[in-house]
A and B are shown apart, each in its own frame.
Chain A
């Protein structure tokens, strides 16, 4: 009998939970704003970093205040499940109205699921009324000319970018003072290495578990790739046709196939040596660690510095119990005894594009309102709210960045970065599997270069082959666009805007076809070179 009573109690508790939960679910549906229909605009993204969700909430509230019959709902999805969530939503037809463009969105998917906003951005932004940008077409109101929202393959603008980004070194200022007695941040590579050594000595003498740089699979390469690219600057200039400065995979493969460079070239070896020198100041086995491991390390005060993007600034600052300093990456100067030979000095960020760009999905049930919200997001007043609340770098011209965001503004001083060894999937895989030959206990640049020599060329060729498939498809698509433009022009020969559009499209297609041709030539050359070898 006692058991029955117990069972009854348990079941009734459960029943109460059930009724309460049911109530919670059914309740919001009955709320409408003054009986009028409330249209909900949903905006999805993966930026769970500090500052973003709060800023988007504020922006949503501002917009709702101006348009009482609209509700803006933010859907942040963790990066881990973002891709499969995205695909299921896009394919399933339940996609939110606005989605951040980036992860999981290839050109195919962009063309298939998103609505271009080119017509939207060719006119001035009504939300810029009262500012200096009032009469300026929206596409010219961003610091990068809105190229961050433009897709070259599809020839359309798809996204409204909200933020500028850059990569910096973060420092634990309190710990820095303990180690060096001052809070001066290193500006050259020499000073940087000296600081690392000081940190190591400090750790040894105080018995404190301390690592100069917090590394991980994510943070380590960010620093090391940038440093590597400083070493290929002169090489790239040498190899590029006059004034070209080519860093794209096609050109690099062509030069590789022609024997103009190899993983064992002096500049490349120097870059690898630079990487190894920095790697030794990170935790042993750092390539196995994840991004949050490194951040945790830094925030717990077990590392003096960490390299990360501007997107982590707010998160790091809010988690760290100490003061955080920020400085640009300390590149080797031209008079650096070890690494100055191959570099032109610092690396410039002048060509950087704006990021965090939001696009309109075709599945949206309220496209007009969504477009209007996008216009709002890209306006100067909204961008000011963005930078003030999130502390991220603004993207619209004339918006003063929040003081916390100032160290992250693009640095224009310096030269174009050199080329990287592996940027495409297959090449990156070969790179990743051999990387232990560089960082391991018995590693060395020579060993790494040797293992790359075997497989890197093939990997780059297969990457190129794969990307050729999609560039061919893009060409086909552009041909259709061009054909329709020809017909439209025939019908309206005096439409200047149309003529301009046609010229731009023709030029882009010609450039793309030339690129395809060069790629195919590079692959042919590579095949020939391979066959020549025994």
Chain B
């Protein structure tokens, strides 16, 4: 579609659409706005003025100082778990997808069915026996348990998407590399990875998000508050008896910071990745 072919008269009719879109987006961003404006007030100020932000001279920066102390350990635990599990997922999924996409190896169909089945299999009962399994591996109360579970859970979707993507790559690239005597690993490294930047980026972000937001498994697995990830940490914060909402909101904001960093810098990549056809059913 080319904007230059549009006549002037047509452009005007777009206005109601824009208004609607801004309305919806605005409402969608409301929690974010409230979080920021409340994080700079104390309880009394919030009580008097619910909706509008306080004046800059009244901003309570102390909320952030206090929140930082509480939430920083949780954030760092989450960063370690999320980054490691994302790296692990990409590693495992790239290898696995390459296997499926390159050749129809004997037994490949069975293995592929095993993976597909997992996407539809409701894993709801697993949490109980997973807990028992982790106990027998002595992995309870460690961050490793969370990382491993994150990898094993996230790779299924990634393999599915990556397989479709790799299959769509032109075969001659592979043949050329093979003729140059490259091992499969080198083929993966030099052919697949450079071409799949956006897809890998999108999958990485989705996996990171998933791991960041997870709280059920950490709740069940972790004992020591110093190991708590963000999920459990926020529940912990919510469990205090009388809450200073300004401080709580500041903690929420700090909990979102790593995501903010990622998104601000890689937003376009993510948008492009999701909009490409590779994620079609």
By a beta-carbon cutoff of 8 Å, the part of chain A in contact with chain B is 3, 6-7, 9-11, 13-14, 17-18, 20-22, 24-25, 28, 42, 48-49, 73, 75-81, 84-85, 88-89, 91-96, 291-292, 295-296, 299-300, 312, 315, 319
Nearest residue, chain A, Cβ from B215: A81
A89–B134 alpha-carbon span in the complex (Å) = 12
Beyond known contacts A18-B80, A292-B242: 19 more, CB 8 A cutoff: A6-B266, A10-B262, A10-B264, A17-B76, A17-B258, A18-B79, A25-B76, A25-B80, A42-B224, A73-B224, A77-B236, A81-B236, A84-B219, A88-B131, A92-B141, A94-B223, A299-B242, A315-B242, A319-B242
Report which of B80, B223, B226, B265 forms a contact with A6, defined as CB distance below 8 A.
B265
CB of A3 within 8 A of CB of B241, answer no
Determine if B178 is an interface residue (Cβ-Cβ < 8 Å): no
Contacts of A94 in B (CB 8 A): 140-141, 223
Nearest residue, chain B, Cβ from A321: B44
Contacts of B221 in A (CB 8 A): 88
Report which of A10, A17, A48, A295 forms a contact with B239, defined as CB distance below 8 A.
A48
Most chain A CB within a 10 A radius of its CB, from B80, B134, B240, B264: B80
Determine if B143 is an interface residue (Cβ-Cβ < 8 Å): yes
CB of B219 within 8 A of CB of A9, answer no
Determine if B269 is an interface residue (Cβ-Cβ < 8 Å): yes
Report which of A10, A20, A22, A28 forms a contact with B265, defined as CB distance below 8 A.
A10
Most chain B CB within a 10 A radius of its CB, from A80, A93, A94: A94
Determine if B169 is an interface residue (Cβ-Cβ < 8 Å): no
Chain B residues 254-278 with CB under 8 Å of chain A are 258, 261-262, 264-266, 268-269
Contacts of B243 in A (CB 8 A): 292
CB of B80 within 8 A of CB of A22, answer yes
A291–B239 alpha-carbon span in the complex (Å) = 12
CB of B47 within 8 A of CB of A300, answer yes
Nearest residue, chain A, Cβ from B78: A21
Report which of A17, A25, A28, A92 forms a contact with B140, defined as CB distance below 8 A.
A92
Contacts of A88 in B (CB 8 A): 131, 220-221
Nearest residue, chain B, Cβ from A80: B239
Contacts of A299 in B (CB 8 A): 242
Contacts of A92 in B (CB 8 A): 131, 134-135, 140-141
A14–B80 alpha-carbon span in the complex (Å) = 10
A435–B254 alpha-carbon span in the complex (Å) = 43
CB of B83 within 8 A of CB of A14, answer yes
Determine if B238 is an interface residue (Cβ-Cβ < 8 Å): yes
Report which of A3, A18, A292 forms a contact with B268, defined as CB distance below 8 A.
A3
Determine if B77 is an interface residue (Cβ-Cβ < 8 Å): yes
Contacts of B134 in A (CB 8 A): 92
Q: How far is the CB of B204 from chain A (nearest CB, A)?
A: 10
**B214-251 interface code vs A (CB 8 A; 1 in, 0 out):** 00000111011110000010011011111100000000
A291–B79 alpha-carbon span in the complex (Å) = 34
Q: Would you mind naming 13 contact pairs between A and B with Cβ atoms under 8 Å apart?
A: A6-B265, A7-B266, A7-B269, A17-B79, A18-B79, A42-B224, A77-B225, A78-B238, A80-B238, A88-B131, A93-B135, A94-B141, A291-B241
Q: How far is the CB of A259 from chain B (nearest CB, A)?
A: 45
Interface size class of B (residues with CB under 8 A): 35 or more
Most chain A CB within a 10 A radius of its CB, from B225, B238, B265, B266: B265
Given A14-B261, A291-B241: A24 and B140 within 8 A (CB)?
Answer: no
CB of B76 within 8 A of CB of A292, answer no
A129–B239 alpha-carbon span in the complex (Å) = 40
In the A-B complex, the 9 residue pairs with the smallest Cβ-Cβ separation, listed nearest first, are: A78-B239, A10-B265, A21-B76, A21-B79, A18-B83, A94-B141, A92-B140, A21-B80, A80-B239
Q: How far is the CB of B230 from chain A (nearest CB, A)?
A: 12
Q: How far is the CB of B237 from chain A (nearest CB, A)?
A: 9
CB of A25 within 8 A of CB of B265, answer no
Determine if B73 is an interface residue (Cβ-Cβ < 8 Å): yes
CB of A13 within 8 A of CB of B265, answer yes
A20–B75 alpha-carbon span in the complex (Å) = 11
Contacts of B241 in A (CB 8 A): 48-49, 291-292, 295, 312, 315
Nearest residue, chain B, Cβ from A26: B80
Contacts of A76 in B (CB 8 A): 225
A293–B37 alpha-carbon span in the complex (Å) = 22
Contacts of A84 in B (CB 8 A): 219-220
CB of A89 within 8 A of CB of B223, answer yes
A300–B244 alpha-carbon span in the complex (Å) = 12
Q: How far is the CB of B227 from chain A (nearest CB, A)?
A: 8
Report which of A24, A80, A319 forms a contact with B76, defined as CB distance below 8 A.
A24
Contacts of B226 in A (CB 8 A): 28
CB of B73 within 8 A of CB of A24, answer yes
Q: How far is the CB of B203 from chain A (nearest CB, A)?
A: 15
A88–B135 alpha-carbon span in the complex (Å) = 10
Given A17-B258, A94-B140, A295-B242: A78 and B236 within 8 A (CB)?
Answer: yes
Contacts of B242 in A (CB 8 A): 292, 295-296, 299, 315, 319
CB of B219 within 8 A of CB of A81, answer yes
Contacts of B265 in A (CB 8 A): 6-7, 9-11, 13
Q: How far is the CB of B90 from chain A (nearest CB, A)?
A: 13
CB of B261 within 8 A of CB of A10, answer yes
Nearest residue, chain B, Cβ from A88: B220
Contacts of B143 in A (CB 8 A): 25
